[in-house]
Structures are given as C-alpha cells and as structure tokens.
Amino acid sequence: MDDLISRPRSRLYANSQYQLALENAQTPLTSASVNDLDRVLVGCIVFSIYEAARGYHEASQQHIKNGRRILLQYGDSLNSSRRSETAEILQMLTRLDIAFADQTPQKHRNAEAAVGLNVPLEPCEFEEIRHAQKYLFDIERRLVLLQLNMSDAYADGDHQVYAELHVERLKCVPALLTWKKYFDRLLGKASPTTCDLTVLFLTLCYHAALIFARTEDQVAETQCDPLLPEFEVTVSCGEQIVDCLLRNPRLQSVISYDTGYVTCIFFAATRCRDPRLRRRAISVLKALPRQEGIWKSSSAAKIAEQLIHLEEAGLDTENINCAADVPEQKRIWQMDGSLGPDAASMTAQFCGFSPGSCSFEMTDT
C-alpha cells in the first residue's frame, strides 16, 4: 500500500525536478563556460531519456537534436584535454537517436534534413576502437533515419522524394564495407587490452547494418534469403555476447537506454527464415532479462515467436529445413507495435505480403 501511495508522489517530484532542470539549463550558450556546456549536454542526455521513459518521444528527440546542434556549434570551445569526453557525449546522443528514432514521426523531404547533420559518410583509417564505434553508429543512424523518411514518403505517394532518399541510402553499403576494412586493420594492430565485448558488439552491429542496408521495404521478402551468412554472424555474435555477460555478472545491466544487442538479434529472428537460425536468435533474446531503450528482450522474443508462428502456420513444419521452405506469400513484411496507456500492454499488428493482416495483444508486466 505504501508503494501505491508513494508512486504518484515520486512522479510529481520527478516532474518538478525536471521542470527546474529545464529552467536552469537556459544559460546563454554564447557566454557559457566549458562547465556550463558540460551541464547542458549532460542535461540533453538525461532529459531525452526521461521523456522517452514517459512515452513523450518527440520531446525526447528534440533534446537529442539540441545536444547534437550544441556540439556542432560549440564543440571547439572545449579544450583539447576534453576531446575524448566530447566524442563520447556525441556518440551517446547518436546511439540514443537510433534507439528512439522509430517512435517519432518523420516528414523530412531530403537526405540532409533527414539525417540532420553534415556527417562524413566515408570513414577513414581508425586509430582507436572508439573512432570505429563513432563512424559505425553515424552510418547506422543515417540508415535508420533515411529508411524512416522513405517509409513516410512511400505512404504519402511522394515517389520522387522516395527515389532521392533511396539513392542516399544505397551509399551506405560501400561506406559499411569501407568501415569493415579499416576495422579489420585496427584489430590486426590492436593491443591485447582491446575489449573483446566491444569488438563483438561492433561486429554484431556491422553485420546487422549491412543486412539492413542491402534489403528494402516494398520488395519481396525472399531478398533476405541470400544474406544467410550475415545472419549467421549476427546471431553468433549475439550468442557470444550473452555468454560473456552470463560469465561476468558485473558486466550485466538489466536496463539501459543505450543501444545493445536486442534490436539486432530481433531483426535476425524476424527477417531470417532459416528455422534453426531464427530460433537460435530467440534463445539469445530469452537468455537475459534486458531492456535497451524501448526494447525489452522478453517482449521482443514473444513478438518474434508469434511472427514465426504466423509464417509457419499451415506448413509442414517437419519439412521446413531452410529459408526457401517458407514461401513468399506466407511471410510477414511489416509489423507495427503500440504500447497501451499503462505501458505494460502491447498490441502488435503483422501485415503479410498478400492482403490482410494478423494482430494479437501481449501483456508483459
């Protein structure tokens, strides 16, 4: 009972502190000191997470955009001894942007507006692992934002904008391949202290991003079948990451508003139709209770299982031995999810390539 009474009070206190923090963050940036910039940038991160936790994703996205603009405009004000911290803040904002982007309406009409910042697409030689991480997430962010805007342009019937964004999206494939070349070179000369978990995570993200870049919406789902080797590496990396976390409890975190392995593994479970590989992916999602941004591993596993059930329903499951055994007309090509007002229930609606859709409600408290 005490918990039920204190919960509304806690929310009111959190809201009042949030409003106070917003007021205190209004220091004119033109005359701000390095410490003032630090406070505002950290505030952008905290505010974006807080708004996302409350379900106000547009406000969360605005805080992320503000932080990136501040870094772009005032980054030179931070002295050389703070370069690594500045880079980490920018990376954190980039990863949050990826995590929350699909919860925000996208109505940009060109690639520059969609991506938001003039970020170099082609990576250069990496000196440190963090440099590789930065470039990979910049490319991944570009991919996600372009795809979201392409989907809106397609829905609006604006084929010219769709085609222009599609051309920009195709440029991400050679950028990813160049990234991998430089990443392999970096690993070849890396010191033994290089974090194996970080390497696994970046390898996982690279292969998932490459699959995403090489596939398109509004195209037959069988386009995913030739990418089985990429799916194999993605799932294998996920298994190794989970194994590493299980063996090192101090590395485990139940909740994170940063990106992690859950989205990549869910992508493999739902887009790869190889029966064994996609079930291995679901096992990865079930292995640890994890929440990464709006993604909860247990919920992701349930949604993936339901999708597989719908795709394999009516087929002779004993004779499903490879991706080709799931015919195009049985495949799900789109899924939309919405949280209930209590944020504990979810409705996921699946659309097949043929007319019609399937839906179910899932409560995961």
DSSP 248-276: -GGG--SEESS--SHHHHHHHHHH---HH
Query: What is the rounded CA–CA span in Å between residue 332 and residue 335?
Result: 8
pLDDT above 60 (res 217)? yes
**Model-level pTM?**
0.74
Predicted pLDDT at 250: 73
**Residue that wins the pLDDT comparison between 360 and 269:** 269
Predicted pLDDT at 29: 61
Indicate the pLDDT class of residue 231, thresholds 50, 70 and 90. Answer: very high
Predicted pLDDT at 148: 81
Predicted pLDDT at 364: 46
**Residue that wins the pLDDT comparison between 34 and 261:** 261
Predicted pLDDT at 117: 46
Predicted pLDDT at 209: 94
The region, left, alpha or beta by phi > 0 then psi within -120 to 50, assigned to residue 220 is beta
Average of per-residue pLDDT across 301-310: 90
Indicate the pLDDT class of residue 284, thresholds 50, 70 and 90. Answer: very high
The gap between the terminal CA atoms of the chain, to the nearest Å, is 19
Share of the chain above pLDDT 70, in %: 64
pLDDT digits (tens, 9 = 90+) for 110-134: 555 555 545 556 777 888 888 898 8
pLDDT digits (tens, 9 = 90+) for 63-84: 777 777 777 776 665 544 455 5
Average of per-residue pLDDT across 81-97: 62
Tokens read off for 166: 């599609």
Average of per-residue pLDDT across 255-263: 75
pLDDT above 90 (res 1)? no
**Residue that wins the pLDDT comparison between 276 and 151:** 276
pLDDT above 90 (res 278)? yes
b/e map of 17-51 (b: 16 or more CB within 10 Å)? Answer: eeeeeeeebeeeeeebeeebbbbbbebbbebbbbb
Predicted pLDDT at 344: 53
Taking a C-beta distance cutoff of 8 angstroms, is the pair 201, 261 a contact? yes
Determine the residue type at 271: R
Predicted pLDDT at 107: 53
Query: What is the rounded CA–CA span in Å between residue 107 and residue 117?
Result: 16
pLDDT digits (tens, 9 = 90+) for 334-354: 777 665 555 556 677 777 754
Share of the chain above pLDDT 90, in %: 25
Mean pLDDT of the chain: 76
Query: What is the rounded CA–CA span in Å between residue 16 and residue 213?
Result: 43
Q: How many CA atoms lie within 13 A of 208 on its CB side?
A: 29
**Residue that wins the pLDDT comparison between 194 and 170:** 170
**Residue that wins the pLDDT comparison between 98 and 250:** 250
Indicate the pLDDT class of residue 240, thresholds 50, 70 and 90. Answer: very high
Find the range with the poorest average confidence among 71-75, 270-274, 305-309, 354-358.
354-358
pLDDT digits (tens, 9 = 90+) for 50-64: 776 666 667 777 777
Q: How many CA atoms lie within 13 A of 11 on its CB side?
A: 8
pLDDT above 90 (res 291)? no
